[in-house]
Amino acid sequence: MRARTGKVGVALTAALCAFAATPATAQKYPDRPIRLIIPYAPGGSSDAIGRLLGQSMGTAMGQSLVIDNRPGAASMIGRSMTAKAAPDGYTLMIGDAVHSINVHVLRAVPYHPIRDFTFISLVGHSPMVLAVHPSGAKDLQGFIAQAKSQPGKLNYGMGGTGSITHLTGELFKKSAQVDMVPVPYKSIGLAVTALIGAQVQAAFPSLPPTVAHSKAGRLRVLAVAADQRASVLPEVPTFTEAGVKDVVVSNWFGLMAPPGMPATIVTRLHAETVKALQTPDMREKFAAMALEIVANRPDEFRRMVEAEVVRWGAVVKQAGIQPE
């Protein structure tokens, strides 16, 4: 995601006005529990966001949002289940940045990332960063100079081939004109652990698994891939401020559903999502996870994902990554 995609207050006003105009039949929804699919195992960011959002929305709507973790096949199991479910508002999914990447890096993806989903609202995002071992470069330009003096010698850890942590590294390589070697790990958490142990020289995680290590001095964050500095690490410049353009990448999260969902239900769910994001408790908990709340309209969310699909397709092609 390249930039913020709407203000919560503006989205809330628009959503509530639209909801007020919906027919009475839509206001009977929901009359039974709603399944909220998380295409990952419990414990990650998508799971945490889904549980927070589900609890808040469920209370407001008078029906439980039941968390259904469906990990496996590079998150395609949960996404495929969502794409094939009935579009009646009783199956939802927490989507993330991987949604716009899988189609380029995996063979035989059993769904189309745009046509096979209804987009309800972006929920939040967290920018990616460039982190190095504390014994490494002191700033971004120093790191670039080091990489250029040793082409193909520096390694960066990433959470699997074709992951957003991999593609952020490839985007950086192109923008900074450096040659680095990606080293895949089963998760970005393991890659960060390897970086702390100086087994690799760099990594491109998002903020949540980075902030505590940075503040404790276990690694050094050189730049944030955002349009502005992160409030949790205000001393760290953006890539643009540090002299590297076009490295603006976020791991985004949003509420999605099966294709063909009636507009009245989409409007209701969007309004409830934005209201949930407005609560002080939700803001506090998102901030604790180093996540920024961002809500937008369904059409804006869809266009954002469309742009992300195009963008990452170009990065994958330029990097020569072959589908697995």
Rounded Cα distance, 262 and 26, in Å: 9
Domains by residue range for the chain, with CATH: 8-126+249-319 (3.40.190.150), 129-224 (3.40.190.10)
Average pLDDT over all residues of the chain: 91
The reported pLDDT for the residue numbered 18 is: 46
The residues, any chain, with a CB within 8 Å of residue 172's CB and separated by 6 or more, are: 130, 178, 204, 239, 244, 247
Q: Per residue in 62-90, pLDDT tens? A: 999 999 999 999 999 999 999 999 999 99
* Nearest in space to 70 (alpha carbons), one of 83, 89, 53, 52: 83
21 has pLDDT over 70: no
Q: What mean pLDDT comes out for the span 9-14?
A: 46
Q: What is the mean pLDDT of residues 253-281?
A: 97
Find residue 130's DSSP bridge partners. 223
Q: In the chain, which residue ranges form alpha helices assigned H by DSSP?
A: 8-20, 45-61, 76-84, 102-105, 140-149, 164-176, 188-196, 211-215, 263-278, 280-288, 298-319
Q: Which residues on neighbouring strands pair with residue 119, listed in sequence order?
A: 256
pLDDT at residue 43 greater than cutoff 90: no
Q: Distance between the two ends of the chain, CA-based, in angstroms?
A: 24
Give 15's pLDDT tier (boundaries 50, 70, 90): very low
pLDDT of residue 63: 96
188-230 pLDDT, tens per residue?
999 999 999 999 999 999 998 899 999 999 999 999 999 999 9
Q: Is residue 317 very low, low, confident or very high in pLDDT (cuts 50, 70, 90)?
A: very high
The pLDDT of residue 7 is 45
22, pLDDT greater than 60: no
Q: What is the pTM (predicted TM-score) of this model?
A: 0.87
